[in-house]
Structure 1
Amino acid sequence: MFRKKNFHCVVLHKMLITNLKRFFSKIYLKTLNFLKFFLIYNIITEINASGMNFVISRDSHMNIIKKSSSCYGFDFFVRIILHFFIISHGIVVCVVFYLFNKQFKR
Protein backbone atom coordinates (compact mmCIF):
# COMPACT_ATOMS: atom_id res chain seq x y z
CA MET A 1 0.00 0.00 0.00
CA PHE A 2 2.77 2.44 0.95
CA ARG A 3 4.79 1.65 -2.17
CA LYS A 4 1.78 2.13 -4.43
CA LYS A 5 0.96 5.51 -2.86
CA ASN A 6 4.60 6.61 -3.16
CA PHE A 7 4.64 5.54 -6.82
CA HIS A 8 1.59 7.73 -7.56
CA CYS A 9 3.29 10.72 -5.90
CA VAL A 10 6.39 10.20 -8.04
CA VAL A 11 4.31 9.96 -11.21
CA LEU A 12 2.36 13.13 -10.34
CA HIS A 13 5.60 14.93 -9.50
CA LYS A 14 7.13 13.96 -12.86
CA MET A 15 4.00 15.05 -14.71
CA LEU A 16 4.08 18.39 -12.91
CA ILE A 17 7.74 18.91 -13.81
CA THR A 18 7.23 18.04 -17.49
CA ASN A 19 4.24 20.41 -17.71
CA LEU A 20 6.26 23.20 -16.08
CA LYS A 21 9.16 22.58 -18.46
CA ARG A 22 6.80 22.69 -21.43
CA PHE A 23 5.21 25.93 -20.17
CA PHE A 24 8.57 27.64 -19.57
CA SER A 25 9.96 26.47 -22.91
CA LYS A 26 6.99 28.11 -24.69
CA ILE A 27 7.61 31.37 -22.82
CA TYR A 28 11.33 31.11 -23.58
CA LEU A 29 10.76 30.60 -27.32
CA LYS A 30 8.20 33.41 -27.53
CA THR A 31 10.60 35.76 -25.73
CA LEU A 32 13.45 34.84 -28.06
CA ASN A 33 11.26 35.36 -31.13
CA PHE A 34 10.16 38.75 -29.80
CA LEU A 35 13.78 39.75 -29.12
CA LYS A 36 14.84 38.71 -32.62
CA PHE A 37 12.00 40.67 -34.20
CA PHE A 38 12.62 43.73 -32.02
CA LEU A 39 16.37 43.82 -32.65
CA ILE A 40 15.97 43.34 -36.42
CA TYR A 41 13.31 46.07 -36.48
CA ASN A 42 15.56 48.45 -34.52
CA ILE A 43 18.56 47.75 -36.75
CA ILE A 44 16.48 48.55 -39.85
CA THR A 45 15.07 51.67 -38.19
CA GLU A 46 18.53 52.87 -37.15
CA ILE A 47 19.89 52.36 -40.68
CA ASN A 48 16.97 54.33 -42.14
CA ALA A 49 17.28 57.08 -39.53
CA SER A 50 21.04 57.45 -39.95
CA GLY A 51 20.58 58.69 -43.51
CA MET A 52 17.96 61.26 -42.50
CA ASN A 53 19.58 63.26 -39.72
CA PHE A 54 18.07 66.60 -40.69
CA VAL A 55 14.93 68.49 -39.73
CA ILE A 56 12.77 70.06 -42.41
CA SER A 57 11.29 73.41 -41.46
CA ARG A 58 10.00 76.53 -43.23
CA ASP A 59 11.19 80.11 -42.99
CA SER A 60 9.03 83.26 -42.97
CA HIS A 61 8.70 83.16 -46.79
CA MET A 62 7.53 79.48 -46.63
CA ASN A 63 10.75 78.20 -48.19
CA ILE A 64 11.82 74.74 -47.08
CA ILE A 65 15.00 74.76 -44.99
CA LYS A 66 16.93 71.62 -44.02
CA LYS A 67 18.55 71.96 -40.61
CA SER A 68 20.91 69.29 -39.41
CA SER A 69 19.94 67.78 -36.08
CA SER A 70 22.27 66.29 -33.52
CA CYS A 71 22.47 62.52 -33.42
CA TYR A 72 22.99 62.55 -29.65
CA GLY A 73 19.69 64.01 -28.52
CA PHE A 74 17.28 62.78 -25.87
CA ASP A 75 15.75 60.26 -28.29
CA PHE A 76 19.16 58.65 -28.85
CA PHE A 77 19.69 58.02 -25.12
CA VAL A 78 16.14 56.72 -24.66
CA ARG A 79 16.76 54.19 -27.44
CA ILE A 80 20.04 53.07 -25.86
CA ILE A 81 18.38 52.59 -22.45
CA LEU A 82 15.45 50.74 -24.05
CA HIS A 83 17.80 48.41 -25.92
CA PHE A 84 19.78 47.76 -22.74
CA PHE A 85 16.66 46.80 -20.75
CA ILE A 86 15.24 44.57 -23.47
CA ILE A 87 18.53 42.76 -24.10
CA SER A 88 19.15 42.31 -20.36
CA HIS A 89 15.60 40.95 -19.94
CA GLY A 90 16.26 38.44 -22.72
CA ILE A 91 19.52 37.36 -21.08
CA VAL A 92 17.79 36.94 -17.70
CA VAL A 93 15.04 34.81 -19.26
CA CYS A 94 17.63 32.62 -21.00
CA VAL A 95 19.64 32.15 -17.79
CA VAL A 96 16.54 31.33 -15.73
CA PHE A 97 15.39 28.79 -18.31
CA TYR A 98 18.87 27.21 -18.42
CA LEU A 99 19.02 26.92 -14.62
CA PHE A 100 15.47 25.56 -14.51
CA ASN A 101 16.35 22.82 -17.01
CA LYS A 102 19.63 22.06 -15.22
CA GLN A 103 17.81 21.75 -11.88
CA PHE A 104 15.27 19.21 -13.14
CA LYS A 105 17.54 17.13 -15.37
CA ARG A 106 18.93 15.30 -12.36
Structure 2
Amino acid sequence: MNILEFYRGKRVFVTGHTGFKGSWLCRILLDAGADVTGYSLQPPAENLFSQAGLADVHTVIGDVRDFDALASAFDAARPEIVLHLAAQPIVRESYRDPRATY
Protein backbone atom coordinates (compact mmCIF):
# COMPACT_ATOMS: atom_id res chain seq x y z
CA MET A 1 0.00 0.00 0.00
CA ASN A 2 1.27 3.46 -0.92
CA ILE A 3 1.43 5.71 2.17
CA LEU A 4 -0.91 8.21 0.53
CA GLU A 5 -3.54 5.52 -0.10
CA PHE A 6 -3.91 5.28 3.67
CA TYR A 7 -5.54 8.74 3.72
CA ARG A 8 -8.11 8.07 0.97
CA GLY A 9 -11.58 8.66 2.40
CA LYS A 10 -10.29 9.44 5.90
CA ARG A 11 -11.54 12.44 7.86
CA VAL A 12 -8.45 14.47 8.79
CA PHE A 13 -8.38 17.49 11.12
CA VAL A 14 -5.39 19.82 10.64
CA THR A 15 -4.62 22.67 13.02
CA GLY A 16 -2.58 25.51 11.57
CA HIS A 17 -3.79 24.57 8.11
CA THR A 18 -3.35 28.04 6.58
CA GLY A 19 0.34 28.28 7.42
CA PHE A 20 3.14 27.32 5.06
CA LYS A 21 3.50 23.69 6.13
CA GLY A 22 -0.21 23.31 6.84
CA SER A 23 -1.10 24.48 3.34
CA TRP A 24 1.25 21.96 1.72
CA LEU A 25 -0.05 19.22 4.01
CA CYS A 26 -3.65 20.02 3.02
CA ARG A 27 -2.70 19.93 -0.67
CA ILE A 28 -1.13 16.46 -0.22
CA LEU A 29 -4.08 15.17 1.82
CA LEU A 30 -6.62 16.39 -0.74
CA ASP A 31 -4.60 14.82 -3.55
CA ALA A 32 -4.61 11.57 -1.55
CA GLY A 33 -8.42 11.69 -1.32
CA ALA A 34 -8.82 12.72 2.32
CA ASP A 35 -11.74 14.74 3.67
CA VAL A 36 -9.87 17.63 5.30
CA THR A 37 -11.05 20.07 7.96
CA GLY A 38 -8.62 22.84 8.86
CA TYR A 39 -8.61 24.95 11.98
CA SER A 40 -6.47 28.08 12.27
CA LEU A 41 -6.32 31.79 12.81
CA GLN A 42 -7.35 34.09 9.98
CA PRO A 43 -4.41 34.13 7.56
CA PRO A 44 -2.90 37.36 6.24
CA ALA A 45 -4.31 38.77 3.00
CA GLU A 46 -1.55 37.17 0.91
CA ASN A 47 -0.96 33.56 1.86
CA LEU A 48 -0.05 30.23 0.34
CA PHE A 49 -3.32 28.59 1.42
CA SER A 50 -5.37 30.93 -0.79
CA GLN A 51 -2.97 30.58 -3.71
CA ALA A 52 -2.77 26.78 -3.57
CA GLY A 53 -6.36 26.12 -4.65
CA LEU A 54 -7.49 24.58 -1.38
CA ALA A 55 -11.17 25.48 -1.58
CA ASP A 56 -12.08 21.83 -0.86
CA VAL A 57 -10.70 22.11 2.68
CA HIS A 58 -13.47 22.80 5.17
CA THR A 59 -11.99 25.82 6.96
CA VAL A 60 -12.80 26.84 10.52
CA ILE A 61 -11.24 30.09 11.71
CA GLY A 62 -10.39 29.94 15.39
CA ASP A 63 -7.66 29.90 18.00
CA VAL A 64 -6.41 26.57 19.42
CA ARG A 65 -6.26 28.30 22.83
CA ASP A 66 -10.07 28.68 22.75
CA PHE A 67 -11.02 25.23 24.00
CA ASP A 68 -14.78 25.56 23.45
CA ALA A 69 -14.42 26.70 19.82
CA LEU A 70 -11.81 24.02 19.11
CA ALA A 71 -13.96 21.31 20.71
CA SER A 72 -16.98 22.42 18.67
CA ALA A 73 -15.02 22.28 15.40
CA PHE A 74 -13.54 18.93 16.38
CA ASP A 75 -16.95 17.45 17.23
CA ALA A 76 -18.41 18.70 13.94
CA ALA A 77 -15.53 17.24 11.90
CA ARG A 78 -15.52 13.83 13.66
CA PRO A 79 -11.91 13.25 12.58
CA GLU A 80 -10.24 9.88 12.36
CA ILE A 81 -6.81 11.54 12.26
CA VAL A 82 -5.58 14.78 13.84
CA LEU A 83 -2.42 16.54 12.65
CA HIS A 84 -1.44 19.43 14.92
CA LEU A 85 0.61 22.09 13.11
CA ALA A 86 -0.69 25.22 14.83
CA ALA A 87 2.19 27.30 16.14
CA GLN A 88 3.34 30.81 16.81
CA PRO A 89 6.37 30.90 14.50
CA ILE A 90 7.74 34.39 15.19
CA VAL A 91 10.72 34.05 17.53
CA ARG A 92 10.73 37.68 18.65
CA GLU A 93 7.03 37.40 19.52
CA SER A 94 7.81 34.35 21.64
CA TYR A 95 10.26 36.46 23.67
CA ARG A 96 7.63 39.18 24.18
CA ASP A 97 4.84 36.75 25.11
CA PRO A 98 6.23 33.32 26.04
CA ARG A 99 3.06 32.16 27.81
CA ALA A 100 0.83 32.74 24.75
CA THR A 101 3.49 31.16 22.54
CA TYR A 102 3.53 28.04 24.71
> Normalization by structure 1: what TM-score?
0.21
Q: Which has the higher strand share?
A: 2
Name the larger-Rg structure.
Answer: 1
Q: TM-score of the superposition, structure 2-length normalised?
A: 0.21
Q: Which has the higher helix share?
A: 1
